[in-house]
A and B are shown apart, each in its own frame.
Chain A
């Protein structure tokens, strides 16, 4: 369970003024209306763009269909934005706008290339999102302190009723829409979208796209864990993204930040009732193995960091003890799903390599909770050397998995004996271990197996290593010619 440390005061070092490009892709009545009525007015609240423009060198790129440019340029809220930061309008070919996700992706990619060339950070500003006052001032402070990647998640609300009520709070004189975090959380819950409610950890209609899991804190708000999060703002010269817009490659988690308190950053995403309802129309509760499988699709080295953060959306001052009690409960849940995710990753590798009996045993352990039991002594997040016995050692005369190996106690012990946790970020090879003079492998069950090289090759306990290792995520899979027995130590 982790929460962000408070941002150090200014005397911790002079804030750095950075160059930043904000990019928005917006077209058509639905997007344009929400953009002009809610997004820009909330961006104009004192703690947002006005504050950010004082902190950093900000430029704004608006990509839209040619027919919408004049309407957007002439809008009073856009003129106020242009008075704060330089704004460029760029037409987008009509055919690119047929699919909303693709339209955003293609044009954000172009904006990112431009930001990289100009030495700027890039901020993707969706047009259908409204911000609490102070959100971008907080983001500005974070990047002043050296953060290179900022991830924020949004609460989804029903567009029509929310927009009507929020618009009434606009400042009549200047048109800005300044709503502080707690007040905006309160308003959002009054218009909360069913998809948000479906993400409740015990929802009977849990979505098949579980990007976040929510625990209610009665009377105060929602505790949220994101499993994977698209990026809001980052430095494209230092960070690359996956095809799902998640952080790719290795990076320094000290320079990443998840916006985790609605008092300092809160945003709502507008959507009509029925949007993405196919995600949660089937009466299927949360299944940790299915969530783990989904998580692999959205794989990113940053997911461990992102899911470790406890996000608080609260409409009332957070009672620390109450929130911490719930956050303590959510941490093992996330750790368990992360373990299952690594299990599914290994299972897929076993299937691909044709180790079907081993894959069958692992599938059984995944679905029955025996994997967690087998690896109970291993701290969460460890990489591992996984030793896969030859198929002949696992099957009977009819080429079926040996029945005795499927007994719960035997299966858990078997798994614990064949997994060697490693303390390094990526599991070391046997050659590396031998070169370092290691003579023992410490298994997940706590026993030690002798590691040595002789004329026939590398021997682990009573088994010989067969062929080269395969890299599976952070782990290494090694085939061995037989089952590892305790007495072989």
Chain B
């Protein structure tokens, strides 16, 4: 996202203030003025927020038996459509991929994916998501259970309680349980167990995942985070990460396994 473009910057500010219609107009202006890929992405996200919001409010009012027009909070009569912005985005996706081998194929894939992200479409939940999440594992477990594959179901159900509700964006997903004093993590294609006692922070560093032992007790950290200004927290954090005094280890040095059951058995034996 190119926030140096004045229209995009103004659009982002308007969106933050909840003036989505105004934001879309600015993003549309940026699209016309040559900042098309970034502006189209911003316009799409903004329009999608508007569509989901309008859908939800309409759903509530319908259930209350009140006319949709009785809502006076989200008037949007702009001439920029989500379909138009989506076409623009797809064109850029396709252009970006064209020199390789799959511009058209990428376009078709992206259309399916983005096209599914519309409110009220029943097929959305069925779009498979390769990233692990509670939602995906619960669905996998239910499917296996209905097919009578109890063991596969039970494994998926366990993972559904462990994974974050939706796919995590960070380098490592912190699982939602501990085992024998170990915090469980999922990074790449493996599961790891890091002692809770070290109050671990996992950060990518020089091409590998590092585990850093946090020495300050959680209560002290919370207190400092509340009192100190954000810039100082950032500065202190960078200084702490660079400090040779902070115990750092590669994540690969921690107990790990490609499947959770093996890792849990390993921790169990060690415990």
Contact = CB atoms under 8 A, between A and B. Distances in A.
Nearest to B158: A363
Contacts of A198: 56
Contacts of B54: 194
Nearest to A292: B161
Contacts of A96: 226-227, 229
A200 B60 contact: yes
B49 A354 contact: no
Nearest to A220: B64
A351 B15 CA distance: 43
Interface string B30-73: 00000000000000000011101111110111011110001111
Given A218-B64, A356-B261, A359-B158, 14 more contacts: A105-B226, A158-B18, A158-B74, A189-B70, A192-B61, A205-B52, A216-B64, A271-B18, A280-B56, A283-B121, A287-B135, A344-B161, A354-B271, A366-B161
Contacts of A217: 64
A216 B61 CA distance: 9
Interface in A153-208: 157-162, 165, 189-194, 196-198, 200, 203-205, 208
Contacts of A293: 161, 165, 176
A274 interface: yes
A102 interface: yes
A15 B66 CA distance: 42
A283 B64 contact: no
A367 B53 contact: no
B155 A360 contact: yes
Contacts of B119: 204-205, 283
Contact of B158 (A99, A102, A353, A360): A360
Contacts of A105: 226
Interface residues of B, number: 70
Contact of A205 (B18, B56, B222): B56
A388 to B, nearest CB: 14
A217 B125 CA distance: 28
Interface stretch (A73-81, A230-238, A396-404, A450-458): A396-404
Nearest to A95: B229
Contacts of A281: 48-49, 52
Contact of B150 (A359, A391, A399, A407): A407
Nearest to B228: A95
B18 A197 contact: no
Interface of B: 15-20, 48-50, 52-57, 59-61, 63-66, 70-74, 117, 119-121, 124-125, 134-135, 138, 141-142, 145, 150-151, 153-155, 157-158, 160-161, 165-166, 176-181, 222, 225-230, 232, 261, 264-265, 267-268, 271
Given A219-B65, A287-B138, A364 B124 contact: no
- List of 10 A-B pairs having minimum Cβ-Cβ separation, nearest first: A272-B18, A95-B229, A406-B150, A194-B53, A197-B60, A158-B73, A273-B18, A197-B56, A216-B63, A191-B73
Nearest to A219: B65
19 contacts: A95-B228, A95-B229, A95-B232, A160-B18, A161-B72, A189-B61, A189-B64, A200-B63, A203-B56, A217-B64, A277-B53, A283-B119, A283-B121, A284-B125, A360-B154, A363-B154, A363-B160, A364-B154, A364-B157
Contact of A274 (B20, B59, B166): B20
Given A190-B72, A356-B265, A363 B56 contact: no
A367 B160 contact: yes
